[in-house]
Structure 1
Amino acid sequence: MRWALVCAGTALIGTCYGFARFAYGLFAPEFQTQFQISSTVSGIIGSGSYIGYCVAIVASLVLTERLGARRIAVSAGVVATFGIAMITFAPSAPVLAAGVLIAGSSTGLASPPMAAAVSRWIHAPAQDRAQSIVNAGTGLGVLVSGPIALALIDEWRWAWAVFTVISAAVTVWLSKAIPFTESEGHTDTAGNGWRPGTFLLIAGAFLMGFSSVAMWTFGRDLVTSVGHVSDVVSTSMWAVLGAAGFVGALSGDLVARAGMARSWTTVMVAMAGATLLLAFLPGTPVPIFIAAAVFGASYVSLCGVILLWSTRIYPQRPSFGVGVSFLMIAVGQVAGAPLAGVLTDVSGGTAAFYACAAIGLIGACIRPRPS
């Protein structure tokens, strides 16, 4: 296994997802106070990262096959760094929204080329495990962002400045780790076309993305505004969520042992249960940490299952399969974030969590049948 590639790829996913995309939810209370915005507006701004993701992943799944994984993966790091820097220096809510959109688009650029790079450079026996480890970088990014936020919660711009520096460093590292010898301008047309099983894949990805959005966008806001817990508890919750995401690195082994369908159903139910638990007990630290841990492990594991599911359906075009499925995760989150914000403003903080948990249980009923 090329450990340099796997480690750098894991760091890229951690930077793009943990910092550029999901750290917005960690700092949502501070942004609402700083820029005097409501939960509805906060949800709309949060959905911007998912909209940027949708646009970028469509470009990425096409350009990765034409320009090569290295160029697109490095571009993801550059875009993440630029977007995070915009958030750092945002003077107003519109600039913040633009930065969130640009930063979030980096995740769309990152996933397809890393899936393609692992498929190309990692030998077949280790590919599933390598894909799962790289995908678990989300947990790494969320874990690192938690202590930084705790240390700099009253100076959020400095926290985002630290994210900017880390993102730039990871981009340089990645440019050295992915081999430069891959053929450029080559598109493998083998396996083109809409393959059987794709509809179930995109339906499952959509419902999974929708069901996750309450926790990612309003999780910390819920425990602070409804549960009235301290900043230490709320930011520690985020760190626990990220640390538990490392369990997602085992998703390849889980699928190998339990099968795709059983793994999917079990973990979707677990994620819905974690969302419900936080809604029921948003002011009690132990349930908060349990909910965060289960959610973090479940979310990253589900992304890993979807990644493996898509590469099974599109073995000759892994960047395309991953691009389509991860696009649908983001489409679900785009649809869910504004709705969660509206529900929060109209019916209280827990309503969005109940709705997202219900969507997750519906998604658990899907039975993957990769061909």
Structure 2
Amino acid sequence: MIPTPAEATGPLLRQAPARRWAAARLALGTASALGISRFAYGLLLPAMRTDLHWSLAQAGALTTANSLGYLLGALLAGVLGRRWGPTATFHLGMMLTALALAATAVSGAYLALLTARTAAGVAGALVFVAGGVIASRNAAAARSPAPITIYFSGAGLGIAVCGASLPPLMTRAPHDWPSAWIGLAAFAFLATAASWTAARVDEPELRSATGRPRMGRLWRTALAYLLFAGGYIAYVTFLSATLAQDHAPVWLISTLWTLLGIGAMAAPRLWNPLIGAWPPARVLTTLLALLGGASALALVSTSYAVLAISVLAYGGTFMTVPAAVTATIRGATRPEDWAPTLSAFTTVFAAGQAVGPWAAGAIADHTSAGATLVWTAALCASAAVVAATGRPKPPR
């Protein structure tokens, strides 16, 4: 049964402080594996590009390498989840994320950085899938989508931390980007320790091989997810580069990234009632349409107020898309199929991410950095149209 808006927003907040605290600590998984490991690169990109003499296509290729690693990790996550369970898979992903971030600081050689970013992608997918399964089971136990939206909103904490710290650091020491990666690795190790005991479910974990990915009834959702993945990552990857090309002050870049993270952290309060009350297709369509509009808004004007609205709207929606897709999977498949189906969707997601940054960067090299925002707006709008036609039914 789908809870009403009042039922959807309340249960987790009314439960014991220990459970609320556990949900917040589990969200450190996306803070580390997404907010830090993946999205911090967009802030460090201008300094690394200048210091290492990269083109935009080369810069985008590192994000593509990260996404290819993410693709591999998504394939591994389904296997490891069935064999070890989501808790052990989550722990492994968190440890590998911290180690990959530390490895990014070791060398400025392009091949070494490609390897480190690929490893970070593998680790991030393990965390993403395993944590999503844990959050889904906790949401089922709580009869509320709150554990899912809280989990994915954790990426906002990592983004806000990066936005507040990295731009000023890169201004004072633009060639010292390795130290920034070391600091991010330290954050990831702390997040691993803090989230360790939160990565559990309130029922015996399913490790059998009986579950199967159920993509047939969800193919429209999967296609929309593919388009979203190829589009959204360009906004996050190249926003700082676009602003730097327009000679935006450092305080503005820092403020906008912090607002992006704050928007992502605030998203559960806004979207929990709608995910609980609206049909999944309507939620996903609304989110994707807002993302397309938010990215297009940054093209309309470069005024500080318009850019602030753009990043707040983007931050308040982009990490809720995986939450909405996860909720869709939970409602359209049996519990034993959640892990393999989520792993299959993450594979689709990773494929879109692998192509998107490189393609957007290559187009921008022949036009302008602003072309990356056009890319995001076009793909998210297309994804919204596809999602509007998908209405998956619950399993028998």
TM-score, length of structure 1 as denominator length: 0.93
Deviation, 1:275, is 1.1
Determine which of 257, 262, 265 is the counterpart of 2:277. 257
Q: Show the 5 A alignment for 1:1-371.
A: 2-121=19-138, 124-153=141-170, 154=173, 155-179=176-200, 186-187=207-208, 189=210, 192=212, 194=214, 196-225=216-245, 227-250=246-269, 251-281=271-301, 283-316=302-335, 317-366=337-386, 367=388, 368-371=390-393
- AA aligned to 1:31 is M
CA distance in 2, matches of 1:32, 1:167: 24
Cα-to-partner distance string for 1:266-286 (whole Å, 9 max, x where unaligned): 2211111111122333x4221
Counterpart of 2:264 in structure 1: which amino acid? G
Residues 345 and 195 from structure 1, CA distance in 2 versus in 1: closer, same or farther, beyond 3 angstroms? closer
Kept in 2, the 8 Å contact 1:86–1:99? The answer is: yes
Determine if contact 1:247/1:301 at 8 Å carries over to the other structure.
no
Q: Percent identity?
A: 20
Structure 1 contact 112–318 (Cα < 8 Å) conserved: no
Using a 3 Å threshold, how does the CA distance of structure 1 residues 193 and 77 change in structure 2: closer, same or farther?
Answer: closer
Whole-Å Cα distance in 2 between the matches of residues 242 and 13 of structure 1? 12
CA shift at 1:209, angstroms? Answer: 0.8
Unaligned runs of 5+ in 1: none
Residues 290-313 of structure 1 show CA distances to partners (whole Å, capped at 9, x for unaligned) of 111111111012121111112222
| Residue identity opposite 1:91 in structure 2 | G
In 1: Cα distance, 2:275 partner to 2:25 partner: 24
For 1:293 and 1:5, locate their aligned partners in 2 and report how far apart those are by CA, in whole Å. Answer: 27
Question: How far apart in 2 are the matches of 1:245 and 1:176?
Answer: 24
How many Å separate the matches in 2 of 1:237 and 1:287?
A: 11
Deviates more, 1:130-139 or 1:104-113: 104-113
Would the aligned equivalents of 1:311 and 1:321 in 2 still touch at CA under 8 Å?
Answer: no
- 1:9 alignment partner AA: L
Q: CA deviation at 1:359?
A: 1.6
In structure 2, the gaps of 5 or more residues are: 1-14
Query: Helix, strand or coil for the counterpart of 1:197?
Result: helix
2:213–2:340 contact (8 Å) kept in structure 1? no
Q: Which moved more, 1:120-129 or 1:298-307?
A: 120-129
Aligned-residue offset at 1:262: 2.0
AA aligned opposite 2:391: R
- Cα gap change, 1:298 to 1:30, in 2 (>3 Å): same
Check whether the contact 1:267–1:301 (CA below 8 A) recurs between aligned residues.
Answer: yes
Moved more, 216-225 or 321-330: 321-330
CA offset at residue 123 of structure 1? 5.2
Return closer, same or farther for 1:124/1:160 CA change in 2, 3 Å cut-off: same
- Structure 1 distance, partners of 2:320, 2:182, is 30
In structure 1, C-alpha distance between the alignment counterparts of 2:81 and 2:364, rounded to whole Å: 39
Q: Distance in 1 between matches of 2:201 and 2:320?
A: 30
Aligned residues: 368
Contact 2:144 2:276 in 1 (8 A): no
Deviation of 1:341 (Å): 0.7
Matches of 1:24 and 1:158, distance apart in 2:
13
Cα distance in structure 2, aligned partners of 1:39 and 1:134: 32
Q: TM-score, normalised by structure 2?
A: 0.87
Deviations along 1:300-347, whole A, 9 cap, x unmatched?
121211111122222312222222222222211211111101111001
Paired with 1:152 and 1:80, the residues of 2 have a C-alpha distance of: 22
The superposition leaves residues 228-247 of structure 1 with CA deviations (integer Å, 9 ceiling, x where unpaired) of 20121112211111110123
- For 2:346 and 2:116, the matched residues in 1 are separated by 21
| Amino acid across the alignment from 1:277 | L
Whole-Å separation in 2 of the counterparts to 1:197 and 1:180: 27
CA distance in 1, matches of 2:202, 2:157: 29
Whether contact under 8 Å (2:139, 2:148) holds in the other structure is: no
SS at match of 2:319: helix
SS in 1 for 2:145: helix
SS at match of 2:37: helix
Take 1:323 and 1:249, find their aligned partners in 2: how far apart are those partners? Answer: 23
1:193-248 per-residue CA deviation (whole Å, 9 max, x = no partner) reads 535422112101101111212211111111110x2201211122111111101233
Q: CA deviation at 1:188?
A: 5.5
Q: SS of 1:64's equivalent?
A: helix
Shift of 1:17: 0.1
Match of 1:365, SS? helix
Q: Quick check: 1:119–1:127 contact (8 Å CA) kept in 2?
A: no
